[in-house]
Chains A and B, each alone.
Chain A
């Protein structure tokens, strides 16, 4: 345990050291962002857990509320786990650590601890309010909370194990086929869709559930491991406690064993010596763009974190194209003066609403915040080559635009036709969503340059949790609120079509102006900043 203690202390010291290097302002800003994000997550999960539990306890289904909280915690942990599994968990320091007299299991534990603690936090945030309500409102024994806290610490072992298995499969697929990257992105997107579908709908599911205690018990028994855990927490049944320990501790041990094996595993290398060497030439600008593009697609983690919005956008547009807007309950259930809102809104209003929704997806789809930091220690290459810094930055912007703009154009056309808009309104819809994503990309690049981090150990540090990424998300949310105001006015004034159209054109002018300003900042400040960077 001595070596594990040393490793954990060193990880902590390195974390503190990385903050010290950044300077006071950055540290305070990062701490504030983390606190806000933490409170947001705790608040969101806590409210979902508590409200679901409250409804179920009121219906006399206290045990089922624990079951549901466990299921939610499991899904959230699985989402984090699978998202993490798309990255190579082997850090830069692994070889050095392996050469030292440190048990492999200690290296693995020190590396998995961060992921595990995050899962524990999510599980407890969902589980704790439920247990509290079951005890306070349902009148159960307070010992339930103690048992819940104990198992809350063990439950994340299951999703951790599953995500490590997926990680091993992805890693094998990457070595053996060309489709490993694609597979890893698809799995991640599927789990996030599962999360997005299940978690927000849990309260309404609890609300609509009409089941007796016996029926609820039958439902719970359909997934035995979750049922054992629920029983272990709710009643403390000895057999269920033992089974729960078995299904959590065994996967935890297996997870560490699998990971320890993969640490020093020799990677298979294909023999490409007989393969023809392809020589092809293109212009310097194209080469810079192609390099940026291949760098983006070579990182499943990066693709997963940025292409998700496009996938959801296309699914949504596909749904509307087939079913029409009246197929969306969010619209069909709203009535104005006794009429369905679907019958009240005209094409201009639909364009305004569609633009708002598309902006939301544009908010999720930009690659620029991480694009500078991702160069890491390789930044010497682009800095010593005879290519203008502006072209390098333009290539980063182009990649961001390319993953969204063609789909935004396609979506605008499909939605425009389905919503019976005229060509002008289709163009307006595309321009609003396209310019919004352009502006988001430019803002992302500015933050990416200001809060650059080139000394990362794992790319996830800059792709997922980078300060630039977090700030861009918050800025785009603010921007989204401002642009939504235009859409609201356009919907309110929908009967005066000319005025409503002018309001939407005003939004385009605003977005274009802001984009021009942001681009000017990039070409002046951004170029200087990039040139001053050192890997």
Chain B
């Protein structure tokens, strides 16, 4: 579903964001992406969703290149940023209608999905309020509903659990699993290793823009805990 080959991104000024990164996320997989702050997680994610250009490599979503056919690639992708800055002067409902229109989600389907997800995430009653009145967690929930609403083939999430209350985090994890069971894929970054360990089918560890470990959870961590492996491989890479 997502294939990254030799991705290299250098920032103006020479700082390397990501260097020769390759990985593949298959349909039905939840793929975790972990690393220190500034390791290159967000840079990789922004390259996948078309927010960053990159000099080398290819990013294919369901076989579609994000550079040569960005619109088709975007039409089957959803992105949830770590700090969702949304249109403050719209109501939550207006924002969802906007996203639904862009992704051409029929009205009845839109209604059914929004009602379901908004009820699950306990945001239903606040949907008619302005986004400016939302807390960080509520904005995160709104961005999650907007992403799930059009049922993309690939869901890219940057630190999706930051700001969510424990119940909402639990609900989102269930939604993610259910979503992948239908044949879609999720690629997400996180600092919460316990979540990655329990939720992910595969993981990749990135350090200083380079992939230092990747594979299924068993391949990467074996019998040790993910925390131990993470600390060990990142130390080794030094």
- Taking beta carbons and an 8 Å cutoff, which residues of A are in contact with B? 267, 269-270, 272-273, 275, 277-284, 286-288, 290-291, 294-295, 298-299, 376-378, 380-381, 383-388, 531-532, 534-535
B86 to chain A, nearest CB (A): 7
A282 with B101, Cβ < 8 A, contacts A277-B93, A535-B85 known: yes
- 6 example contacts (A-B, Cβ-Cβ < 8 A) are as follows A269-B129, A279-B111, A280-B97, A281-B110, A287-B97, A299-B89
Q: Are B86 and A294 in contact (CB under 8 A)?
A: no
Among B72-80, B178-186, B193-201, B214-222, the stretch in contact with A:
B72-80
Complex: how many Å from CA A387 to CA B133?
28
Q: Are B126 and A273 in contact (CB under 8 A)?
A: yes
- B10 an interface residue at 8 Å Cβ cutoff? no
Complex: how many Å from CA A495 to CA B72?
60
Q: Which of A377, A386, A532 is in CB contact (< 8 Å) with B85?
A: A377
B89 to chain A, nearest CB (A): 3
Q: Are A386 and B86 in contact (CB under 8 A)?
A: no
Q: Which of B74, B89, B115, B133 is in CB contact (< 8 Å) with A386?
A: B74
Count class of interface residues, chain B: 35 or more
- CB-defined interface of B99-112 with A at 8 Å, one 1/0 digit per residue? 11111111100110
Q: Are B129 and A270 in contact (CB under 8 A)?
A: yes
Chain B residue, CB-CB nearest to A269: B133
| Top 4 A-B pairs, shortest CB-CB distance | A287-B101, A273-B125, A298-B89, A272-B128
Q: Are A381 and B101 in contact (CB under 8 A)?
A: no
Complex: how many Å from CA A291 to CA B112?
23
Q: Are A380 and B85 in contact (CB under 8 A)?
A: yes
A381 with B125, Cβ < 8 A, contacts A280-B97, A284-B101, A294-B94 known: no
- B81 an interface residue at 8 Å Cβ cutoff? yes
Task: Kindly list chain A residues whose C-beta atoms are within 8 Å of the C-beta of B101.
Answer: 281-284, 286-287
B207 to chain A, nearest CB (A): 23
Q: Are B102 and A288 in contact (CB under 8 A)?
A: yes
Q: Are A384 and B133 in contact (CB under 8 A)?
A: no
Q: Are A272 and B129 in contact (CB under 8 A)?
A: yes
Q: Which of A270, A275, A291, A532 is in CB contact (< 8 Å) with B53?
A: A532
Chain B residue, CB-CB nearest to A534: B51
Task: Kindly list chain A residues whose C-beta atoms are within 8 Å of the C-beta of B111.
Answer: 279
Q: Which of B71, B85, B107, B126 is in CB contact (< 8 Å) with A376?
A: B85
Task: Kindly list chain A residues whose C-beta atoms are within 8 Å of the C-beta of B89.
Answer: 294-295, 298-299
A271 to chain B, nearest CB (A): 8
- B52 an interface residue at 8 Å Cβ cutoff? yes
- B25 an interface residue at 8 Å Cβ cutoff? no
Q: Are B102 and A387 in contact (CB under 8 A)?
A: yes
Beyond contacts A272-B91, A294-B94: 7 other A-B pairs, Cβ-Cβ < 8 A, are A279-B107, A279-B110, A286-B101, A383-B50, A384-B50, A384-B79, A534-B51
- B121 an interface residue at 8 Å Cβ cutoff? no
Q: Are B102 and A287 in contact (CB under 8 A)?
A: yes
A381 with B71, Cβ < 8 A, contacts A272-B128, A281-B106, A387-B102 known: no
- B114 an interface residue at 8 Å Cβ cutoff? yes
A323 to chain B, nearest CB (A): 41
Q: Are A385 and B110 in contact (CB under 8 A)?
A: no
Complex: how many Å from CA A106 to CA B106?
53
Task: Kindly list chain A residues whose C-beta atoms are within 8 Å of the C-beta of B99.
Answer: 385
- B127 an interface residue at 8 Å Cβ cutoff? yes
- B90 an interface residue at 8 Å Cβ cutoff? yes
A386 with B102, Cβ < 8 A, contacts A377-B85, A378-B87 known: yes
- B49 an interface residue at 8 Å Cβ cutoff? yes
Q: Are B51 and A281 in contact (CB under 8 A)?
A: no
Chain A residue, CB-CB nearest to B48: A384
- CB-defined interface of B36-57 with A at 8 Å, one 1/0 digit per residue? 0000000000100111110000
Complex: how many Å from CA A388 to CA B102?
10
Task: Kindly list chain A residues whose C-beta atoms are within 8 Å of the C-beta of B91.
Answer: 272
Task: Kindly list chain A residues whose C-beta atoms are within 8 Å of the C-beta of B170.
Answer: none
Complex: how many Å from CA A424 to CA B125?
57
Q: Are B51 and A386 in contact (CB under 8 A)?
A: no
A378 with B85, Cβ < 8 A, contacts A281-B97, A386-B71 known: yes
B34 to chain A, nearest CB (A): 22
